[in-house]
Structure 1
């Protein structure tokens, strides 16, 4: 193959050649024997001869010598890989071959392959993923396939907090059928009886930081301990954040002292009785402080009771009314991280109120501490939260942020899905959480302001807002680390479509299954 071509003969030169009538004035022609010898030398690797000759086997040697043609050496054998340089409009593959297939680059037609765990630390700084998109943009399909089904094939563990009900009058979430297909019932939370309970005073959920709360600098020592031991959130902070979330304010110093004292005393009471401490025990010690504890703070039982009464009444309301059945008993036996897919179904919890963000926070803390204790095993786990705006508001965001800091060390990849960047409060811990997601997928944002906010927040190329506004279903701008965003088309197999379709999941059969069910050959 040769990439060199002849140029047309100049008209004057053509007329001059045709006007020569006599045979002796005609230019000498290269004989077949000479041309054959040149070809043999070229095949044998002797390429210098064609370059030394201007005619390269052409009929008119004089025309070649006068520059009537471009140099035309004898072609050399080549490959498609070597010839890519001849078509510079086709770029190289945007990603390498290591990881999970995500979809197709719509600009080049190349397959996009990416895995946050595999790409760390060369391409990304962490295994966390953020997905933004309007309702109906197919961001859930990306979570269910690239975030759930495909990692399961690699032997990874996937934990999903399932927020969206399946259908308008459904009694369970979208992932429930998929969980059963994988051989495990979803772990369901609901207000009242019959649901799952997570005990925040259980060391299996979060370990207790045993610092004497009667010390005047106990809170400072607690913060120092946190800074010196990079690990997931502890039980002390988890209980405090839960109460602050319920009360919708931060605790005063005296309330903090009363809480730490009652917390420690409730654990001592439970140990003496051979039980696991619960929120009801904590509430009892806020109402009725121990005399020894009151004596050491030189304020008396009545003063300590006054410090803790507001918290005690809020805990009573929580375990008896707003959050009944969620946190007021021992941890349910069903709460365990099994191999493969684990689904926490919170679709039946009320949309308003603290129930959803608190359950998400406690589940995330339980998972992070569980993986921290087993980090030597080296297993990779995906933690997926749809409707993640619930965990980036208020004090809950500070706990999630703390757990994210250790995600790399424990093999935990956090996947967050939002509708709009406007869901994220300005100058909050939530912004830091999303900034720590090195992999970003921005789906369609119909409103111009939402598109502009996404471009600014995720540092996309100027002008990308026009692309974002006109993305079709299943298309997104896919950004890996600091590399330019890719115009991605997410692709699914027929089986994945049947398993992940929002409206008909687990009900759609492939054509082959239909034929087999009718007794026909596949």
Structure 2
């Protein structure tokens, strides 16, 4: 069989010719398909496999770029984690929502365990999912809730019940230790004696109550100071006991007072519906309380959601793959070492659970600003465990930081930097559309990056246009 190859030549009609720029048809050559096949794809490498989520057209070849970290495990990637990073306004959340929307159609459950701005709620509602709104006068979430296990635990054999109870109490203690490390707690990691006595108090109230304990129950036991807690601290009198537990007890009380009062200090008012096609824990009602409150809220809701998912999987109540969106990561990392440890544990085993975790942030400065080398290494390890990297518009300095973690070619850095903007504030003081909006570079392992442009459909624009509220505000003024 013969094939026709056209070798194009760019041409230009000279000035005064009255003709516009054009491309000549070029010379035509004939050859067999076995010979001509060696010419394709000419000087350009093959794009990513056409599988999974359609992102948009390749900025260089105009071919469709697709993305499928879940389906590529064992072939192109070893871990389905995805690290998404770009300047504010460049479209980080938009691409996360596109991935979520398409994976939902493939049968994955979409989980947004901490929606700081409430921007995922329209998408979740559009998918027929559940939105739990945390805030005073709204829903309340008990960080010590055992989730689906409390409905099934009594049906299991006694030895299995003991194992799962120990796991539940371990998670409860770990979460309290992490909350204590936030500024609204101790502002540091609990000492060994403090961690020991808190764990013992959790076990005591869990055994004494028929329902899930709440943080005030743990505080009450610490204040009562039963002698079994003395033994945990190797003391034999109440004065020594109180001296050792005073600070941690007051710190736990702080988690139930002030700006956090009414959020996490009582029973859960609306359990997560793990049968829903999608769910979101909306934290937008506490956004005005400050970053420290939001960080504590993220820690509690992320841990609660992950615990519920793990419990449901352990009991065979949830077998679907899931996409878990961890947006606004920078807020969480600024909460301190407790958050780093919690995030490290939550995201470590996602490959074996069929979970695609989307870790979204705008800078590597936040991990690098953590107080100890161990914390910084653990935070950057979150990025290292993501085999898929999606970069939007970033400054040259930020790309250099990325390059130290995940090598980028000079051309890739130059391309992504060309999308960035030092400022997107107009002369009238209003925010302008980011010049790199929708442009992303998708890096899979060490493969050459695929630059693509994400253009939203009309339905997507209605579901998750994060600029809508801002435009309404500007027009009203």
Shorter-chain TM-score category?
0.7 to 0.9
> 1:80-479 residue pairs with structure 2 within 5 A?
83-89=36-42, 91=44, 93-146=46-99, 148-161=100-113, 163=115, 165=117, 173-190=118-135, 193-204=136-147, 234-245=171-182, 246-270=185-209, 274-294=210-230, 297-350=234-287, 352-375=290-313, 378-392=319-333, 393-425=336-368, 427=373, 428=376, 429-445=378-394, 447-471=395-419, 472-479=436-443
Cα distance in 2 for partners of 1:450, 1:358 equals 27
Distance in structure 2 (CA, Å) of the matches to 1:232 and 1:338: 25
CA distance in 2, matches of 1:281, 1:82: 78
Give CA deviations for 1:167-221 in whole Å, capped at 9, x if unaligned. Answer: xxxxxx222233333334521112xx322222222222899xxxxxxxxxxxxxx
Which segments of 5 or more consecutive residues in structure 1 lack a partner in the other structure? Answer: 6-73, 166-172, 208-224, 509-522
Give how far 1:122 is off.
1.1
Using the TM superposition, give the Cα deviation of residue 90 of structure 1 relative to its aligned residue in structure 2, in angstroms. Answer: 5.2
Would the aligned equivalents of 2:197 and 2:229 in 1 still touch at CA under 8 Å? no
Indicate the residue corresponding to 1:35 in structure 2: none
Distance in 2, Cα, partners of 1:231 & 1:436: 26
- The answer for the alignment partner of 1:492 in structure 2 is 456
Q: Which has the higher strand share?
A: 2
Shift of 1:295: 5.8
What secondary structure, in the 3-state scheme, does the structure 2 residue paired with 1:134 have?
coil
Aligned residues: 404
Larger radius of gyration: 1
Per-residue CA deviations over 1:391-418 (Å, capped at 9, x if unaligned) read: 3342111111112121112222211111
Range with greater deviation from structure 2 (350-359 or 490-499): 350-359
Q: What corresponds to 1:49 in structure 2?
A: none
Deviations 1:197-246 (A, max 9, x none): 22222222899xxxxxxxxxxxxxxxxx9xxx999972221222212222
CA distance in 1, matches of 2:5, 2:407: 44
Aligned mates of 2:47, 2:41 — CA distance in 1: 15
Q: How has the CA–CA distance of structure 1 residues 276 and 3 changed in structure 2, closer, same or farther, with 3 Å as cutoff?
A: closer
**Structure 2: which 5+ residue stretches go unaligned?**
7-28, 151-162, 420-435, 473-477
- Tell me if the contact between 1:474 and 1:490 (Cα under 8 Å) persists in the aligned partners: yes
Quote the offset at 1:498 in angstroms.
2.8
Per-residue deviation, 1:162: 5.3
For normalisation by structure 1, the TM-score amounts to 0.70
Tell me if structure 2 keeps the 8 A contact 1:130–1:434. yes
CA contact (8 A) 2:140 2:267 kept: yes
CA distance in 2, matches of 1:119, 1:88: 23
Q: Distance in 1 between matches of 2:94 and 2:213?
A: 41
Task: Report if aligned partners of 1:233, 1:402 keep a CA contact under 8 Å in 2.
Answer: no
Q: 1:185 to 1:255 in 2, by over 3 A?
A: closer
